[in-house]
Amino acid sequence: MDEAPAIQDAPAAPCARSPPPAGRPDDLPPLAPAYDLARRLAALLPGDLDHVFFAESGSVSVEIAMKMAIQFWINRGVSGRSKFVSFLGGYHGDTLATMTICDPEEGMHSLFSGVMPSQHVVALPRDRDSEAALDALLAEKGYEIAALIVEPRIQGAGGMLIHDDEVLRRLRVVADRHDVLLIFDEIFTGFGRTGDLFACQGADVTPDIITLSKALTGGTLPLSAAVASRRIFEAFWSDDAGAALMHGPTYMANPLACAAAGASLDLFEAGDWKVDVARIELALRRGLEPCRGAIGVVDVRTLGAIGVVEFEAAVDSGGLCQQFAELGCWIRPMGKVVYLTPPFVTTDAELAQLTGAIRKVLGVAEARV
């Protein structure tokens, strides 16, 4: 039977009055994968993002982060804070609540428009005008907003849209000014993808909650986490069971998945992932830049181990996919972009094959590379 656990920094920590336990409880077996993984993640994440809640998919971890944010306010005796501010171009998952905070124009979910509760999906504060508009929204509607949620540095599935770190710093300032929480969805960016272990670290902005998945297990087994700061955790720490976060999925902190994540973190600790990301970024930039002049291409951009060729209109994904497959490459275009997010072990020869296939299919002359 599922139990509703308290928000935790170890699996199923019992409710108790403060202070919460520090360090590893003595009665845990020597290898407790969930506990060890939580401890390692807390050590890697910036600030006091120390309280780890595991789940089994990215979407579910975003749902948990949303529930945490809403219940944070309820537990503090503040009513009515049940909405979110998210951003145009954003993608946070396919479950019902996460669909509400995705870009509404995003093709996958348009069928459900009008069915789910509406959120405030607005422009990222890229400049003074959009920052002022966000500030005005929070001044007017802050009473109903639990949190802002953003994919830091790059909005992935919404079109590989890059923004600079100043945007994230503005979000932190605006969130603090209006006393709303800030959630970073690092399901795509976490574990080195943008060149820093976490985008928030590189940007020097600590959110109140961060979500992680995908590369957490190196993509081998399903696992995700919503990691909360101490301030959030303390709103749930109580003898009153009603204050606990009511979420307890069957596969939460699955030991096999946690062990796989532990093994993946070992590779991060032992390996030269930063060198590999820089190597991949250079190869993607050199290999894709010549596509800039190809018919229909409006932009070519790279960020860490992400390379993107953007077209003026949506591409024939199936047709292009087939042509790439005939050149021995699995590349799946998405909307208006053809993109590469290769694993960090991808060799230079493999990167050359991938970018060469894109150039060939776009009809870019090899002499220009």
Ligand X SMILES: Cc1ncc(COP(=O)(O)O)c(C=O)c1O
Where along the sequence are the contacts to ligand X (CB under 6 A)?
57-59, 62, 91-93, 151, 156-157, 185, 187-188, 213
| Closer to ligand X by Cβ: residue 32 or 187 | 187
Q: Are 246 and 220 in contact (CB under 8 A)?
A: no
| Closer to ligand X by Cβ: residue 199 or 338 | 199
CA separation, residue 71 to residues 65, 224, 286, 365 (Å)? 10, 20, 48, 57
H runs (alpha helix) in the chain:
33-44, 58-75, 96-100, 128-141, 165-177, 199-203, 230-236, 255-270, 273-288, 317-326, 348-362
| Closer to ligand X by Cβ: residue 213 or 254 | 213
| Closer to ligand X by Cβ: residue 15 or 221 | 221
Sign of CA dihedral 156, 160, 165, 169: negative
Smallest separation (angstroms) from ligand X to the CB of 239? 34
What is the spatial distance between Cα 68 and Cα 6, in angstroms, rounded to a whole number? 11
Type of residue found at 228: A
Smallest separation (angstroms) from ligand X to the CB of 57? 4
Smallest separation (angstroms) from ligand X to the CB of 179? 25
Smallest separation (angstroms) from ligand X to the CB of 153? 11
| Closer to ligand X by Cβ: residue 62 or 134 | 62
What is the spatial distance between Cα 162 and Cα 172, in angstroms, rounded to a whole number? 18
Q: Which residues contact 355 (CB under 8 A, 6 or more apart)?
A: 283, 284, 286, 287, 288, 307, 340
Q: Are 97 and 65 in contact (CB under 8 A)?
A: no
Smallest separation (angstroms) from ligand X to the CB of 213? 5
Smallest separation (angstroms) from ligand X to the CB of 88? 15
| Closer to ligand X by Cβ: residue 207 or 287 | 207
